[in-house]
Amino acid sequence: MYTGLSHRVGSFLMPKFSKISGYCLLALLAMPFVSGCKMEVVTDGMVNDDVFIKQKNQSLFLKVTGDIGSRKLLLIVHGGPGGNSLDYRDSMIKAVIEPNMAVGYWDQRFGGNSQGNAGASGLADYREDLLTVVKFLRTKYGADLKIYLMGHSWGGFLTPYFLGDADNQQWISGWIQVDGAHNYPLNDSLTEDMLAKRAALEIGANRNVAHWTEVLDYCNAHNVSDGYEVSVKMNGYAHEAEALMDSVFAPSGSYNKERSSAYRNNAINQLITALLRVDSPTYDTDPDVYLGRIQVPALLLWGRFDFVCPPPLCDDLNGKIGSQDKTVQYFEHSGHSPMMNEPILFWESVLDWVIKH
């Protein structure tokens, strides 16, 4: 099942190594020296750094911008797989979040501006990539930097998968889950159920009858357990359903995607991950094994009309993570991406929570 801003289905950007001596790809070490390049540790003021972090056969793109002097950094773990972190950098996050804390926009392997021949990549590679990025941030911006992971959609699988492994939580001060897909088989069954029930309601109300009849007929004739292709088809219907809900606010005009080479080639990245079936192994991953280990403060944000990752998925996650400090907030006029449907409320909610933690 794909989960990104658009859910399932790069050209090279020269980095600006601001406050880093030398133009080189960065390979992480647990000290402020990286592949012969000595890094100046930056702990104050506004930053706007673009770097590539060398990770095995990958060069992972990372943009850090905002107030590093706050000693807080929101690290965005984007959707996809194959998505683009800069999709989230709209005028609202620039106005609400970046003046108050730093934001890390990280492009995963096969995503955005990240480069390299990743070849056959497993889930553990994504997890190791994330750990490398987190350690780099602490090396570059100081060991006292508080890092808050924000996983959206597919990123909502990767973040708990990361936090529940080994001692990874020691690096993280908080976790924000936004309409995330922590359990793929459960996610698919909830999507099918939500689509079938909504189809019956809409047909009964004589709204978009032809479309909803098609959806209901497909749900009656197929089951997501039948295979990956059915899951992908249901996912497509889920996105279409959100657009037909009168209660869902249209994406705000503030959502002006940063027109990078990554954005222009995003469809290619998502096609690659689809062909490679990057997210297929998630079906064989039992999240119940590691969800209880997660102890960091958690904020769970969900769109009430999310058919892609339905609200009961939030309830399941809330009941299984070990965190004692956890907050759930639903957005009554949002679908899969509340940062698009209700951007002011969304980013103010994020900011308030991070300030309190």
DSSP 176: E
pLDDT tens sequence across 214-261: 999 999 999 998 988 999 999 999 999 999 999 999 987 554 455 444
pLDDT tens sequence across 69-114: 999 999 999 998 989 999 999 999 999 999 999 999 999 998 999 9
CB 196 within 8 A of CB 216: yes
Angle between helices 123-141 and 155-163 (to 10 degrees): 70
CB 64 within 8 A of CB 72: no
C-alpha to C-alpha distance for 2 and 154, rounded to whole angstroms: 7
Q: Using the CB atoms, write b or e for 292-323: b if 16+ within 10 Å.
A: eebebbbbbbbbbbbbbbbbebbebbbebbeb
Strand partners, 37: 34
C-alpha to C-alpha distance for 201 and 269, rounded to whole angstroms: 37
| Token pair belonging to 171 | 């690096």
Alpha helices (H) in the chain, listed in sequence order:
91-96, 123-141, 155-163, 184-204, 209-221, 228-243, 261-264, 266-276, 311-320, 338-341, 343-356
Question: Along the 357 residues of the chain, how does pLDDT read in single tens digits?
Answer: 434 444 443 222 223 333 333 233 443 333 333 433 456 788 889 999 999 999 888 899 999 999 999 999 999 999 989 899 999 999 999 999 999 999 999 999 989 999 887 777 889 999 999 999 999 999 999 999 999 999 999 999 999 999 999 999 999 999 999 999 999 999 999 999 999 999 999 999 999 999 999 999 999 999 998 988 999 999 999 999 999 999 999 987 554 455 444 455 566 777 777 667 788 889 999 999 999 999 999 999 999 999 999 999 999 999 999 999 999 999 999 999 999 999 999 999 999 999 999
| CA distances (Å), origin 178, targets 4, 143, 162 | 11, 27, 16
Q: Are strands 58-67 and 102-106 parallel, antiparallel or unpaired?
A: antiparallel
Pick from 170, 224, 228, 163: nearest CA to 195: 224
| CA distances (Å), origin 74, targets 35, 81, 172, 315 | 26, 20, 10, 24
Domain ranges of the chain: 26-183+248-356, 186-243
Strand partners, 38: 33
Report the half-sphere exposure of 223 (CA within 13 A, side-chain side). Answer: 4
Cα 120 from chain centre: 21
CATH architecture of 26-183+248-356: 3-Layer(aba) Sandwich (3.40)
| Token pair belonging to 128 | 């190791």
